[in-house]
Amino acid sequence: MTEDRLTTVAFTGHRTYDGQAAAALRATVGELYARGFRTFLCGMAMGFDLAAAEAVLACRDFETGSAFSPATAPDPHFPHTPMPGLRLVAVIPFRGQESRFPAVDRERFRRVLAAADHSVTLSPSYHAGCYAVRNNYLVEHAALLVAWYDGSPGGTHYTVRRALVRGLEFINLHPHSAALRQAEPTLF
């Protein structure tokens, strides 16, 4: 495992996520930063991915009052200390991914991408399997996976199982995660 991978976190989660864990996301970013993690990879999908990216940007930019910082009264879960070196990397499965999003999510995608420290586009166009390529990239370049995983099948399930097979540390922020059976990594 390279030094960069040892300090890198990847996010995965369902597109149906609608903000239930915003405070927990920011707190998790702060806790992981305190543990030495500096780079956070986002797959740039609607739902949890974009929310996770916004949490990283809020933590990175809270002193400057960026658009991603909490606009409300002080949040006890929000890290209030500078986080030098905190980086967001947007991992885009194919050029134009956001064109398939509703307008509001397309705008979120563009704001996150503009604020990201770096971006990687894995394919010039959509192709069958491009999301799996993106999910594999996330797992192969991180030491820890933070998820919003409810146990249902799909890309998040695939990514969680793949991460467990590769020995990544796994944090699930879904409220029913304690009741979920561990994702079975034996199929890989």
Q: What's residue 106's pLDDT?
A: 98
CATH number reported for the structural domain that contains residue 66 in this entry:
3.40.50.450
Q: What's residue 175's pLDDT?
A: 87
**Confidence band, pLDDT 50/70/90 cuts, at residue 81:** confident
Domain that holds residue 147: 3-187
Number of domains in the chain: 1
Strand order in the sheet with 8-13: 118-121, 87-92, 39-42, 8-13, 144-148, 169-172
pLDDT one-digit tens code per residue, 156-166? 999 999 999 99
Q: Which of 1, 6, 81 is nearest to 37 (CA)?
A: 6
**Confidence band, pLDDT 50/70/90 cuts, at residue 177:** confident
Asked if the model's pLDDT at residue 182 lies above 80, the reply is no
Q: Is 69 exposed, middle or buried (0-12, 13-18, 19+ CB in 10 A)?
A: middle
Q: Which two tokens stand for residue 29?
A: 């970013």
**Confidence band, pLDDT 50/70/90 cuts, at residue 2:** low
pLDDT one-digit tens code per residue, 141-154? 999 999 999 999 99
